[in-house]
Amino acid sequence: MSDDKIGRRKYLKYAGAAVAVGAIAAAGYGLSNYYTPSDQIPSMTTPVGEKRKVKIGTTRPLTGRDAIYGRNELNGTMLWVKMINEAGGIKAGDGNTYEVELIHYNDESKPENVGRFFEKLIVEDKVDYLFGPVSGPLGMATVPVVMRYNKLEFYGTASYDPAQWKSEYGEYVVHVCTNGNAYLRSMIDMTMDYIVPELDPNAKNMAIIHGDDIFRNTAGVGGYEYAKERGVNLLVYEKYHTDTTDLSPLLSKVKASDPEVSILLAGSGYGDAILITRQCEELDINVKLLYPGTGTVTSEWYDAVSPYGDYILTNTQWEIGVIYDVDYGPTHDEYIAAYVAEYGYEPEYSSAIGFTQGLAIQMAMEKCAEPMNPKSLRETVRKEVEFKGFYGHFKTDEYGIQIGHQVAVMQWQNGIKKCVWPPEVKNAELLYPMPKWSER
């Protein structure tokens, strides 16, 4: 990137000042279940004024079930807007510099609100581009709208199953985060590339279980398919009803397996991650590694299963202390310093994704000769946008699916999440095998 682009140098200026101050998967439902746009399509023109501006619209759940993720992701996006504008704006490929204006609404964690607000953003607010909301169902509510108005959207923590949707929606949606179907891949890679050859050849004897709702099913099926691809000896593969309160019959199959299951992975969320952990202890299922689901990333899960949380795996899109080499945007420490200066507390993964949405459109506009043309910008993302930011590697395939970024594998060690995979960012050694439950 040339020196006149807004890159790390100018981010450094802002981050330095900050320090000085103190600082899924979507369903196979019909899209009409989410939102049906109106029949009227107004003409969309971008007025040319003395000062160029790019208007970005979004909704985030600031109240309701997903409020914690919505607020954090919006914080990350707003920080990017502030930093890029204070650094002078986006120096685009058409020779113009663009100030960023962000317009956002609270969707209250309701898909029907997302569709309505997205249409308002396009028709009334006349935004140029859109940033997606959080979670698959909320994200899917945007798709019929951006398709109808031929807009380009950069998803944040929202995702869907690429096998279902990529060919149809690839012209309209760009993904920042790793999709749910790839959530178990890093753990399988760690097993086959490190544990099996260096620690324990029997570690390839695995079990995968998962719930039957959209996200859990996508994560579990994706894990199953990747495990077979990598040569895992999959001894148990079972699906359960997500709302179940007793998994002991299924977990008993894991215990009874011959040969023994060494590693148990689950496509699950928060409540079932607690249930799986507790019932593995109650049934004395002594696997050598356990990943009970995505809920393990939270301190609330760790407290709920105390004193059995240590040694258990979790994964994350991003975590403080997971440090990547950076060639675009702020470094890990610069981003955290700027975030703390702005909000008074440390960021978490959805905040990092919200900021990276901004970096993605920023680079696309810098490289695009027609930065205000959605089709041209989409083609630029497809062919030219690739970078390594503090969040990790950004690169999409031809359908806009994120293929550069991978989730990091963490392990709870003495009450702290430590990164144990991939090798280039790990900050601790994997503790393997887990001690037996009776020895805790």
pTM of the prediction?
A: 0.83
Sheet arrangement for strand 173-175:
90-91, 97-106, 53-60, 129-131, 153-155, 173-175
DSSP letter for 159, please.
Answer: -
Per-residue pLDDT at 422 exceeds 90: yes
Per-residue pLDDT at 342 exceeds 50: yes
In Å, how far from its chain's centre is CA 263? Answer: 24
Could you tell me the pLDDT band of residue 43, with boundaries at 50, 70 and 90?
Answer: very low
- pLDDT of the residue at 169: 72
Could you tell me the pLDDT band of residue 215, with boundaries at 50, 70 and 90?
Answer: confident
Distance between first and last Cα of the chain: 53
Could you tell me the pLDDT band of residue 133, with boundaries at 50, 70 and 90?
Answer: very high
Instruction: Supply the mean pLDDT for the chain.
Output: 88
Q: 106 and 63 in contact (C-beta within 8 Å)?
A: yes
**Residue 375 burial by CB count (10 A; 0-12/13-18/19+): exposed, middle or buried?**
exposed
Per-residue pLDDT at 96 exceeds 60: yes
Per-residue pLDDT at 28 exceeds 80: no
Residue the block writes with tokens 């935004």: 127
* Chain segment 229-243, per-residue pLDDT in tens: 999 999 999 999 988
Domains and CATH numbers, the chain: 8-178+321-394 (3.40.50.2300), 182-316+408-439 (3.40.50.2300)
- Dihedral angle computed from the Cα positions of residues 337, 342, 348 and 353, in that order, rounded to the nearest 10 degrees: -100
Neighbours of 327 (CB within 10 A): 12
Select the more confidently predicted residue: 189 or 23.
189
Instruction: Locate all alpha helices (DSSP H) within 230-298, ordered by sequence.
Output: 248-256, 271-282
- pLDDT of the residue at 51: 59
- CA max distance for the chain: 73
- pLDDT of the residue at 196: 98
The pairing of strands 90-91 and 97-106 is antiparallel
Neighbours of 420 (CB within 10 A): 24
The pairing of strands 233-240 and 205-211 is parallel
- pLDDT of the residue at 165: 67
Highest mean pLDDT among 10-24, 113-127, 163-177, 206-220: 113-127
- pLDDT of the residue at 166: 64
Q: Write phi, then psi, for 82 (nearest 5 degrees).
A: -65, -45
- pLDDT of the residue at 205: 98
In 3D, which of 95, 71, 91 has the Cα closest to residue 6? 91
Interval 46-69 mean pLDDT: 81
**Residue 338 burial by CB count (10 A; 0-12/13-18/19+): exposed, middle or buried?**
buried
Residues in the chain, total: 440
* Chain segment 272-309, per-residue pLDDT in tens: 999 999 999 999 999 999 999 988 988 889 999 999 99
Per-residue pLDDT at 158 exceeds 70: yes
**What tokens does 119 get?**
């249409």
* Chain segment 160-185, per-residue pLDDT in tens: 777 766 667 778 999 999 988 999 99
Q: 113 and 34 in contact (C-beta within 8 Å)?
A: no
> Distance between CA atoms of 407 and 161, rounded to whole angstroms?
16
Per-residue pLDDT at 25 exceeds 80: no
- pLDDT of the residue at 38: 53
* Chain segment 367-414, per-residue pLDDT in tens: 999 999 999 999 999 999 999 999 999 999 999 999 999 999 999 999
- pLDDT of the residue at 41: 45
- pLDDT of the residue at 45: 42
In 3D, which of 387, 407, 404, 384 has the Cα closest to residue 396? 404
